[in-house]
Chain A
Amino acid sequence: MPHIEVLANSTSIRAPGYTLVPDHGQGTVQAAVQPTAGRNKRGTRFAGIAGADTTVAQQNAVLKHLADLDRDSQRDVQIAVPSKQRDSAGKVQKKTTTNVRRILMSQKTFANHLADEEALLALQHQHPSSATPRVPALRLSRSTPNAKRSWTSEEQSTHGEALQTGALRAGRNVSRGTRDRLDDEPLLKSQVPSAPSEEVMEALLSGPPLSYSAARAAPSPSGKPQRHFCEICGYWGTIKCMKCGTRVCGLECKGAHDDGRCLKFYA
């Protein structure tokens, strides 16, 4: 049975003056924000794969937790630049240009900038003609890193003297003239493919940077099950609280959880 999961990606960011909501296709955002009433019932909530956090509500809780972990300070503090500092910037006050004034006045956060970038990319996606090409000239096969022994025998046979090429020199450090006589032994011959040509390298180097979201590391393809830990003591979280779904390790920690940390009074 295929495992279908709804990725909760409801990022609506409020900026002074406007709100940006990246909308990918139809209805996905809405589905992520408002789970239907039936899905929240306990029977369906735990009906999925055992041990997997399946409901949207739980995924949103995880996202919220991650956002909390990413904060600089727990409270919302406003720290204004001290005015004494602002006035006497050391040198004679000169006129600031319009650009600089706009930049200094800007109260945008990184989340705003990120939403801007995503909105721009989505726009380029819809109207590819007006967009600047973000795809590099050279498309590399993004094979999974685990397909490690995919080098063909053809590549290996052409290997030969390619050992001496520039890129390998850095790795093996043979440039200092200390080439071992054992390097010529057929059994010890290295199995590495040859270094790419200069044109390939130039194409690679001139490729434009990826967008912020595209550069994010991908999730594991093998789908390693998530490990859960006891909220109270940090040991393996083998049992789930029936009310709120938090993981604990045993009865003792379950008691501590019920006393102070269980967020749902009525299941």
Chain B
Amino acid sequence: MAPRQAKPAERVLPNQTLIIDNGAHTMKAGFATSEPSLEDCQVIPNCLAKDRGKHVWIGAQLEKCNDFGEIAFRRPVEKGFIVNWEAEKAIWDNTFFEQNAKLVCDPQNTNLILTEAPNTPTPLQTNCDQVIFEEYEFASYSRSLGPSLNAYHDIQNLFGKLPREHHLAALPAECLLVIDSGYSHSTVTPLFNGRPIQQAVRRLDIGGKLLTNYLKELISIRHYNMSDETYVMNEIKEAVCYVGEDFRRDLERTWKGTSANRKKPLPDEQDIVVDYVLPDYNAHKHGFMRAHDPSLTAKMRKMGSMSGAGDVVEDYMTLGNERFTVPELLFNPGDVGMKQEGLPATVLQSLSGLPPGLWPAMLANILVVGGNSRIEGFMSRLKTEIRQLAPSECVVRIARAPDPIKSTWLGGAYLAANPVALKAVQVTREEYNENGSVWLGKVFSGAARR
């Protein structure tokens, strides 16, 4: 290791540390404590939203919104990168810097740990650094790859080993492969001692947004036109979608049969076909899923024929193969014509950029984070397919973080709980003022040492 040029005694960090995992869909933010817990983390919508009444909601204000019909979003984060700082500043101001904000803090007395998505274009990184130090004037700041913060978790405990001893707490896991399947895309990042191996980072351009839009498209063809109802579609996706073990079998089971020979529903078909009752914003009712009831369909048709009779009928739609063809895209992007391999093969593509000696350790320590990992059946399918592709000599162990959405934030909180480790990564505002943003970019990319 090169000797450090800066004298460590000079750099005194304030006690308060703010960790922001700034995702495209939600921002995970909170202050670090000595005993990190998920309760300290707030999940805040990272968007400006305009509802039917032209009212604009900013970030956390959306909690108070009751009517999500035709709501439109403006997201400052595109593809995981903060692109539009005008909107992002409005959300951050609302969350951190206004008088009765949720996580109010004084940036001049706060350390900031901010995450970024892998492979960020350099101009966007520079923009980010400049806003943090020149506009907000945080006392110190580090910009790290989101997946890499997950290395500070107790990984072995997730695989059923005993919890780590206390003195080991802040050491990052030696080898870890993080699969982060989020809103804009799914990335595979190999980590060695908590540092990303940049050359082996791979990305599959399918994330929750694309899945929601695909479901929206299918339903708009088959049921109602939902093209303005992204919010509702996302709720439907989260409620009904699942990843099947056997795609072909499921597709056959949901086939309606030919018109001449209408197939009678098989008993096991009932597991797949469901009804989703759409939300009713006038009555403040949420949407929900329930078992399919064929007799209800007939009844509805009858009521439709004598229109306007009786009281308000709930609106629902019957979902069959949409339930599993949508998340299937994560495993077969070719189904919508995307020329990429599925997520399991992407993992293997990432490994091919590493020396084979690292493969066993990486394959035995796979951590999955991000919202898509909560889709039912996702984990077992991923494990099965990686097992099939990986060399047979290697053990494949794959675990989902206990809370896949807040996991990256929690990793950052573990890092912040250790003052020594924190000091090693943070850059203070004085250092920035002295050395400038080009130097800062080099420090964060590992090209320059302090």
B56 touches A235 (CB 8 A): no
B360 touches A103 (CB 8 A): no
Which chain A residue shows the least CB distance to B227? A74
> Chain A's nearest CB lies how many Å from the CB of B268?
17
Q: Complex: how many Å from CA A168 to CA B338? A: 36
Instruction: Flag the segment in B202-210, B371-379, B423-431 that touches A.
Output: B202-210
> Inside 8 A of B346's CB, which chain A residues have their CB?
217
Report A232 CB to chain B, min CB distance, Å.
Answer: 7
Map CB proximity to B onto A210-249 as digits: 1 under 8 Å, 0 otherwise.
1110111111100010110101111110000000000000
Q: If A70-B210, A110-B81, A232-B222 touch, does A173 touch B389 (CB 8 Å cutoff)?
A: no
Within 8 A of B (CB), among A59-78: 62, 65-66, 68-75, 77
**Contact between A216 and B447 (Cβ–Cβ < 8 Å)?**
no
Which one, A10-18, A29-37, A38-46, A190-198, is touching chain B?
Answer: A190-198
A187 within 8 A of B: no
B163 vs chain A, min Cβ distance (A): 12
Neighbour of A227 across the interface among B78, B332, B362, CB < 8 A = B332
Contact A90 B205 (CB under 8 A): no
Is A105 in the interface zone, CB < 8 Å from B?
Answer: yes
Contact call B340/A145, Cβ cutoff below 8 A: no
The interface residues of chain A lying within 8 Å CB-to-CB of B296 are none
The segment from B28-36, B96-104, B407-415 that touches chain A is B96-104
CB distance from B111 to the nearest CB of A (A): 19
Cα distance A113–B87 in the bound complex, in angstroms: 17
Beta-carbon contact of A91 and B97 below 8 Å: yes
Chain B residue contacts of A209, Cβ below 8 A: 118-120, 198, 201, 445
B354 contact set on A, CB distance < 8 A: 140, 204
CB–CB A145/B197 < 8 A = no
**Which size bracket describes the interface of B in this complex?**
35 or more
State whether A215 touches B121 (Cβ < 8 A): no
**Interface stretch among B5-13, B251-259, B298-306?**
B251-259
The answer to whether A82 and B56 touch across the interface, beta carbons within 8 angstroms, is yes
Question: Which residues on A are within 8 Å of B, measured CB to CB?
Answer: 53, 62, 65-66, 68-75, 77, 79-82, 85-86, 88-91, 96-97, 99-100, 103-110, 113-114, 116-117, 136, 140, 142-146, 148-151, 155, 166-173, 190-196, 200-201, 204-212, 214-220, 224, 226-227, 229, 231-236, 250-252, 261
On whether the beta carbons of B393 and A191 are closer than 8 Å, the reply is yes
Chain B residues within 8 Å of A90, by CB: 93, 97-99, 101
A-B pairs with beta carbons under 8 Å apart, 7 shown? A99-B130, A110-B81, A170-B175, A196-B357, A227-B335, A234-B222, A235-B255
Query: Are A205 and B446 touching (Cβ within 8 A)?
Result: yes
B135: which A residues are within 8 A, CB to CB? 96-97, 100
Query: How many interface contacts (CB-CB < 8 Å) are there between A and B?
Result: 283
Inter-subunit contact A226/B119 (CB<8 Å): no
Residue pair A144, B119 in contact (C-beta under 8 Å): no
Chain A to chain B: the 3 pairs with minimum beta-carbon distance, closest first: A145-B348, A171-B364, A171-B361
**Is B142 an interface residue, CB under 8 A from the partner?**
no
Binding stretch for chain A, among B14-22, B279-287, B309-317, B320-328: B320-328
A69 touches B336 (CB 8 A): yes
Q: Mark B244-276, 1 if CB is under 8 A from A, else 0.
A: 000000010011101100000000000000000
Q: How far is the CB of A252 from chain B (nearest CB, A)?
A: 5
Using A79-B72, A104-B89 as known contacts, say yes or no to A217 and B202 having CB atoms under 8 A apart.
yes
Counting CB contacts under 8 A, is B65 at the interface?
A: no
Q: Which of B37-45, B212-220, B398-406 makes up part of the contact surface? A: B212-220
Q: Which residues of A contact B357 (CB under 8 A)?
A: 167, 192-196
User: Are B340 and A219 within 8 A (Cβ)?
Assistant: yes
Taken together as a complex, chains A and B put the C-alpha atoms of A212 and B365 apart, in Å, by: 26
B123 at the A/B interface (Cβ < 8 Å)? yes
B3 at the binding interface (Cβ < 8 Å): no
A216-B203 CB under 8 A given contacts A113-B83, A171-B365, A226-B334: yes
> Is there an interface contact between A216 and B337, defined as CB atoms closer than 8 Å?
no
B292 close to chain A: CB less than 8 A: no
* Measured CA separation A217–B134 after assembly (Å): 36
Question: How many whole Å from A257's CB to the nearest CB in chain B?
Answer: 10
- CB-CB contacts of B340-356 with A at 8 A, as 1s and 0s? 11000110110111111
Residue of A nearest to B75 (CB): A72
B256: A residues at CB distance < 8 A: 233, 235
* A73 engages B72 (CB within 8 Å): yes
Chain A CB within 8 A of B79 CB: yes
Which residues of chain A come closer than 8 Å to B432, judged between CB atoms? none
Q: Contacts A75-B72, A217-B340, A227-B332 given: A140-B353 contact, CB under 8 Å?
A: yes
Q: Which of B49, B123, B192, B447 contacts A113 (CB 8 A)?
A: B123
User: Please, which residues of chain A bring their CB within 8 A of the CB of B175?
Assistant: 167, 170-171
Q: Is B228 an interface residue (CB 8 A)?
A: yes
B90 beta carbon closer than 8 Å to chain A: yes
CA–CA, A261 to B72, complex, Å? 26
Contact with A along B82-94 (1 / 0, CB 8 A): 0111110110011
State the CA gap A201–B121 with chains docked (Å).
Answer: 25
Judging by beta carbons under 8 Å apart, are A75 and B335 in contact?
no
Say yes or no for B73: interface residue by CB 8 A criterion: yes
Could you tell me if A218 and B134 are in contact, using CB atoms closer than 8 angstroms?
Answer: no
Q: Please determine whether A217 and B345 come into contact, CB atoms closer than 8 angstroms.
A: yes
Does A65 lie within 8 Å of B336, measured CB to CB?
A: yes
Q: Chain A residues with Cβ under 8 A from B445's Cβ?
A: 208-209
Nearest residue, chain A, Cβ from B361: A171
User: Residues of B contacting A219 with CB < 8 Å?
Assistant: 339-341
Please state if B349 and A145 are interface contacts (CB–CB under 8 Å): yes
Complexed CA–CA distance, A158 and B255 (Å): 56
Q: Which residue of A lies closest to B212 (CB)?
A: A69
- Taken together as a complex, chains A and B put the C-alpha atoms of A100 and B349 apart, in Å, by 39
Given A148-B391, A210-B198, answer yes or no on A216-B340 (Cβ-Cβ < 8 Å). Answer: yes
